[in-house]
């Protein structure tokens, strides 16, 4: 690799970008510790490049606010002297700029992560960050599709009128069938290799790489395995064993945006609401399993949720759908 190419790669490295954004607003001692912290969360916690950049931006934003608020680039000694009022002022300033609570929570989490690192390394304690409560966010329930709608989305016949190559329609149907049939995230489905494809004609399992580089095994219905086999038989590209299973029209890895656009077309064709997204198929998988008596702990494992509390939101969804069905069907409920 040439010196110029190596420099270009370094300039586009997420850790370098994040460290530079912090160095632009903080004193040298804080910037040096921040770079060590970024390296720690990148390698020890295995954060994705986008998450690493987001954490860097969040901490840079916090330190940049402090630079203006306190009248100078913050140093380690200055961070230790912060008061809860300083942190509240930061949150208030962000709110006044229209930042949503969910983003504020992430920003505060990033700053707290950096503070914990400083304390663990003996570089100072930023007690003010722990003393301030994170903003509350309104809890919204997932909006699953009906069973019939979810089935239609994964049926290639639903897009039969489109002027698209048959292999493309088969590919999109296979991906959407995986999202609903196995409860996968888009990134998990598109991260599959050719060697991961299940055998057609029979129930099987596949191993997917989820958040935090955690692997889990998920079941694959015979219908889903058949949809994948149909796509493989029509795909015009050489699907090598260690290459991506799902390809774009030019032969590269399939982009999540292509799957989202396919879902948009299906919404129009099937008359589905805007909430019918690829991720809604994962919600539908969990909700429909729960409605059929699925065990909550098992659903947690299938979805790859780290906490059962995350999965428990589907119990509220199921209860809501039962009440809606009652009100629509019971004669006394329509009076």
Q: Which of 63, 120, 109 is nearest to 86 (CA)?
A: 63
Active-site annotation holds for 90: no
Q: Dmax over Cα atoms in the chain, in whole Å?
A: 78
pLDDT digits (tens, 9 = 90+) for 262-312: 999 898 888 888 888 898 898 888 888 877 777 777 877 788 777 777 666
Active-site annotation holds for 305: yes
Residue where the block lists tokens 């774009």: 248
pLDDT at residue 111, as a whole number:
93
CA atoms within 13 A on the CB side of 108: 26
Active-site annotation holds for 288: no
Average pLDDT over residues 200-214: 77
Instruction: Tell me which of 125, 143, 216, 279 is the catalytic residue.
Output: 279
Tokens of residue 232, six digits: 């493989």
**Residue 9: Cβ-neighbour burial (10 angstroms; 0-12, 13-18, 19+):** exposed
> Is the per-residue pLDDT at 57 higher than 80?
yes
Instruction: Tell me which of 185, 247, 283, 288 is the catalytic residue.
Output: 185
pLDDT band at 3 (very low <50, low <70, confident <90, very high): very low
pLDDT at residue 5, as a whole number:
40
What average pLDDT is seen over the chain? Answer: 84
E strands of the chain, at which residues?
A: 204-209, 215-220
Fold topology of 147-278 = hpI Integrase; Chain A (1.10.443)
Instruction: Tell me which of 143, 151, 211, 267 is the catalytic residue.
Output: 211
Nearest-angstrom CA–CA distance, 111 and 107: 6
Report the alpha-carbon angle 57-58-62, nearest 5.
115
Active-site annotation holds for 50: no
Residues of the chain with CATH 1.10.443.10: 147-278
pLDDT digits (tens, 9 = 90+) for 228-267: 999 999 999 999 999 999 999 999 999 999 999 999 989 8
Instruction: Tell me which of 73, 159, 282, 283 is the catalytic residue.
Output: 282
pLDDT band at 316 (very low <50, low <70, confident <90, very high): low
**Residue 99: Cβ-neighbour burial (10 angstroms; 0-12, 13-18, 19+):** middle
């Amino acid at each position: 690799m040439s010196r110029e190419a190596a420099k270009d790669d370094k300039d586009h490295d997420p850790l370098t970008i994040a460290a530079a954004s912090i160095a632009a607003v903080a004193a040298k001692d804080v910037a040096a510790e921040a770079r060590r912290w970024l390296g720690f969360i990148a390698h020890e916690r295995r954060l994705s490049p986008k998450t690493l950049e987001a954490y860097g931006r969040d901490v840079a934003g916090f330190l940049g606010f402090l630079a203006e608020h306190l009248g100078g680039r913050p140093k380690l000694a200055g961070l230790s002297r912060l008061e809860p009022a300083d942190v509240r002022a930061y949150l208030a300033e962000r709110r006044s700029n229209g930042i949503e609570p969910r983003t504020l929570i992430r920003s505060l989490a990033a700053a707290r992560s950096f503070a914990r690192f400083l304390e663990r390394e003996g570089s100072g304690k930023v007690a003010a960050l722990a003393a301030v409560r994170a903003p509350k966010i309104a809890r919204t329930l997932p909006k699953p599709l009906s069973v019939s709608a979810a089935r239609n989305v994964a049926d290639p016949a639903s897009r039969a009128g489109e002027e698209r190559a048959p292999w493309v329609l088969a590919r999109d149907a296979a991906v959407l069938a995986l999202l609903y049939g196995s409860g996968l995230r888009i990134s998990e489905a598109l991260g599959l290799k050719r060697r991961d494809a299940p055998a057609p004609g029979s129930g099987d399992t596949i191993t997917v790489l989820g958040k935090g580089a955690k692997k889990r095994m998920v079941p694959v219905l015979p219908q889903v395995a058949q949809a994948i086999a149909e796509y493989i038989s029509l795909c015009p590209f050489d699907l090598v064993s260690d290459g991506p299973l799902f390809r774009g029209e030019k032969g590269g890895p399939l982009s999540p945006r292509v799957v989202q656009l396919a879902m948009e077309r299906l919404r129009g064709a099937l008359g589905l609401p805007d909430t019918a997204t690829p991720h809604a198929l994962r919600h539908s998988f969990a909700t429909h399993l729960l409605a059929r008596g699925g065990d909550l702990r098992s659903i947690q494992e299938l979805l790859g949720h780290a906490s059962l509390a995350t999965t428990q939101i589907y119990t509220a969804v199921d209860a809501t759908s039962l009440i809606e069905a009652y009100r629509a069907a019971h004669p006394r409920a329509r009076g």
